[in-house]
Chain A
């Protein structure tokens, strides 16, 4: 069964939620759903075993970030951009993705038009959201989202086990460092407030 159209829809929806909503719970859910979509893209290229590495490490990264935020007293939301503006730029991003998805395939031989579109949505939403935030965890969310988009494209160029494992570990390491930075940021802010 061809899962690509469904994966594309899921990617677009997770991208929309990731960009439009500021709440960290929604963000974490969007990140988890995005890993599921990327898993289904990668399964078609890498096979179930290797694609599962991406899914599991991605969800572990989400779990680390969720656990950090759950115990954190401070609000990590530092974005006051209007939702209508974000919706407008998301629609523009979709149009760019729709029109340029095929060009990605021309640049990176083997990337399908749909995967090209999905990658643009993931990378684009991450870069846009990166511009709205300055707090450590928000930036880490964006980096994880962005790396997923690149990994979606990179999967067709390299299907070695070592690379898949290292990329998975990289995601985990980014989440761990993000958690550490969040704790430092909170401690620093509270010291400054005192």
Chain B
């Protein structure tokens, strides 16, 4: 058995088959939650490319698989990333079950994640770009497949449009890159693919000024779905970007590229952090926070590959529990209040204290609040950068997001509720409520553990740079 079959084809084919069967939707969706958990366990514990002991046998997971003449490769170095994404999918599937999402969502999640893993497994940027497009289209279906709402289509259209615009730029960059070396005589020719690559990644990562669609998406669409689709897409695109920078000599050795990355990241972080302070919709605050996260990754990458890559590893890791708790909490709050407009959330934390507190914990972790998971990677990045404008920009963005978060806190917890009646008439199953509270508490504890004892994820951060030794393009 090969790793690409196990981590790409198996979940992809299983979920496609399950989606086409309408009868045993719920049991299949339940298995769709167990499968990514199993894959995450395999990725973390079993080696790829070398034999391991399994009773009397010594099987081996092969790193390469050929399909339609294309060699898909997932080697030993990809294990940390695979464990991260499949672990994340498991948690999201659990959250989907207990927030009563339809079983199709869980199965579509598997299609989406297998396509995103495919982005990193295929050889060459052209195939990666096409895989990104297929992932985006699956993501659009996930975002809009909840109960029909015209606004959810409006939100998803921005994601679809801007991500699709990125694909031709990436493909043209790929078309121009072969044959380019790093010699000074060819430096003029290097400019063109660099611009195409830059535009492609700017569209995908919602870099300033192409980012208005993201807050709109988080405002109009289901928070749990948005957090899943955009969160994992950003992880895959960030990893693809750093793999490219690492594997193309003239990109890796270009001082100008790193300066551009730092400047672009600073622009995104400062503008998004600033606007975050003025949002009256909690969903839009999440959108601006996602933008700040993307900006932080750009700044970390711009600080240099050796220092930046472990920082990016920790930034990406702590994102998963934070957005899970925040997204799930907001999904439940939206059910209770009808929208995420702050005016409609007055006193909701008093009526649902665990829900309100956990959702705010997710929010404040993304802000970078001390003792929560997001704090350590942010503070490490700031110390790595030293007293440069980027560090000041990160402080400013954290301040902007904190202002937005504190305003939300004051509305959710401190103002008296105007709508007590509505909250009590939801008539939810008490057992389901216990499960919801249980997962929220578990997620919040994860945020606290990651924040207070960051050494628990040192093993992951140590393994993360190995990704680049294996994804040579």
Interfacial residues, chain A to chain B (CB-CB below 8 A): 107-108, 130, 134, 136, 139, 143, 146-147, 150-151, 153-154, 157-158, 162-163, 166-167, 170, 173-174, 177, 180-181, 184-185, 187-189, 191-192
- Pick the residue among B68, B153, B172, B192 that contacts A185 (CB under 8 A): B153
Known: A134-B157, A157-B175, A173-B134. A188 touches B149 (CB 8 A): yes
B residues near A189, Cβ cutoff 8 Å: 150
- Pick the residue among B134, B153, B157, B165 that contacts A188 (CB under 8 A): B153
- Pick the residue among A150, A174, A185, A192 that contacts B171 (CB under 8 A): A150
- Pick the residue among B154, B168, B192 that contacts A134 (CB under 8 A): B154
B residues near A174, Cβ cutoff 8 Å: 137, 164
B residues near A143, Cβ cutoff 8 Å: 160-161, 164
CA gap between A174 and B151 in the complex, in Å: 20
Q: Does any Cβ of A come within 8 Å of B3's Cβ?
A: no
**Chain B 46-88 interface 0/1 with A at a Cβ cutoff of 8 Å (1 = within):** 0000000000000000000000111000000000000000000
17 of the cross-chain contacts (CB-CB < 8 Å) are A107-B192, A108-B172, A136-B153, A143-B160, A147-B168, A162-B68, A163-B126, A167-B130, A174-B164, A177-B140, A180-B141, A181-B144, A181-B160, A184-B144, A188-B152, A188-B153, A192-B149
A residues near B160, Cβ cutoff 8 Å: 139, 143, 177, 181
A residues near B153, Cβ cutoff 8 Å: 136, 181, 184-185, 188
Known: A153-B172, A154-B172. A139 touches B157 (CB 8 A): yes
A-B contact count (CB 8 A): 88
Q: Does any Cβ of A come within 8 Å of B6's Cβ?
A: no
CA gap between A167 and B130 in the complex, in Å: 8
Interfacial residues, chain B to chain A (CB-CB below 8 A): 68-70, 126-127, 130, 133-134, 137, 140-141, 144-145, 148-154, 156-157, 160-161, 164-165, 167-168, 171-172, 174-176, 192
Q: Are A180 and B144 in contact (CB-based, < 8 A)? A: yes
Known: A139-B157, A163-B126, A185-B153. A146 touches B148 (CB 8 A): no
A residues near B171, Cβ cutoff 8 Å: 150, 154, 158
B residues near A181, Cβ cutoff 8 Å: 140, 144, 153, 156-157, 160
Nearest first, the 4 A-B pairs at minimum CB distance are: A157-B175, A150-B168, A188-B150, A187-B148
A161, chain B: closest CB distance, angstroms: 9
Which B residue's beta carbon lies closest to that of A166?
B130
- Pick the residue among A158, A170, A188 that contacts B175 (CB under 8 A): A158
A residues near B127, Cβ cutoff 8 Å: 162, 166
Which B residue's beta carbon lies closest to that of A173?
B137
Q: Are B70 and A162 in contact (CB-based, < 8 A)? A: yes
CA gap between A139 and B164 in the complex, in Å: 11
Q: Are B152 and A184 in contact (CB-based, < 8 A)? A: yes
B residues near A185, Cβ cutoff 8 Å: 150, 153
Q: Are A170 and B133 in contact (CB-based, < 8 A)? A: yes
